[in-house]
Amino acid sequence: EAAVTQSPRNKVAVTGGKVTLSCNQTNNHNNMYWYRQDTGHGLRLIHYSYGAGSTEKGDIPDGYKASRPSQENFSLILELATPSQTSVYFCASGPDRGGNTLYFGEGSRLIVV
Amino acid sequence: AQSVDQPDAHVTLSEGASLELRCSYSYSAAPYLFWYVQYPGQSLQFLLKYITGDTVVKGTKGFEAEFRKSNSSFNLKKSPAHWSDSAKYFCALDPNTNKVVFGTGTRLQVLP
């Protein structure tokens, strides 16, 4: 069974602090994604990656950085967290061809105070 | 640019009724279309997808969806609905660029 795990599951951060959300997948998928979910917006793509060493900007990349050090791991980094980044973040993995299913992690709830 | 519209933020119906959740998309080429479901407190799970071929696709949990190119729709259907179907449903478009676009979701409540 495809598996994507995220950590931490819950995080409270202070404004201006640094936050790192981590994602690990055991599916051997080339593609990995970071989405945020907010009421009224559905899921919005922040960053994605085609493989180790690559990161690409999604639709809302401002204020976020990403890192893909290996096939299995994909991190989302908030260098200077702001209250507007309070959200639920989902990591997903998928094969590198269109039309394939995405496999999602359990989500990370971030509150920036 | 591609987009997905789910016009109904909330749908409420009684157990045993038929459900139909609406989804329309905007994309200039042949689309890959998906439905995902998110149960309360959980992550998103794949439900079904349309790639090509038969315009009615069947998925898990008794759901099916009909692709209609004429009006750019991909509505999700199930009959009869069960209280356990209460969840949030997302329609998604994969434009074959690895950037999947999601709709805003429809929260379905099925009353027992």
Phi first, then psi: what are they for B83, rounded to 5°? -60, -30
The ranges assigned to domains in chain B are 3-111
CB contact under 8 A, A104 and B100: no
Q: Which residues of B touch A91 (CB under 8 A)?
A: none
Query: pLDDT for B22-32, tens place per residue?
Result: 999 999 888 89
The ranges assigned to domains in chain A are 4-112
Helix (H, G, I), strand (E, B) or coil at A83: helix
Which tokens go with A73?
A: 């791991």
How many Cα atoms are found within 13 Å in the side-chain-facing hemisphere of B21? 32
Q: Which residues of B touch A51 (CB under 8 A)?
A: none
Nearest CB to B32; choose among A48, A58, A99: A99
Yes or no: domain B3-111 corresponds to CATH 2.60.40.10: yes
Q: Is B70 left (phi over 0), alpha (psi -120 to 50) or beta?
A: alpha
What is the fold, at CATH topology level, of the domain defined by A4-112? Answer: Immunoglobulin-like (2.60.40)
Nearest CB to B105; choose among A33, A42, A105: A42
- Dihedral sign from CA coordinates of A62, A67, A73, A78: negative
Nearest CB to B43; choose among A48, A97, A107: A107
Tracing tokens 């055991």 back to the chain, one arrives at: A26
Per-residue pLDDT of chain B (112 residues; tens, 9 = 90+): 789 999 999 999 999 999 999 999 999 888 899 999 999 988 999 999 999 888 999 999 999 999 999 999 999 999 999 999 999 999 999 987 768 899 999 999 999 9
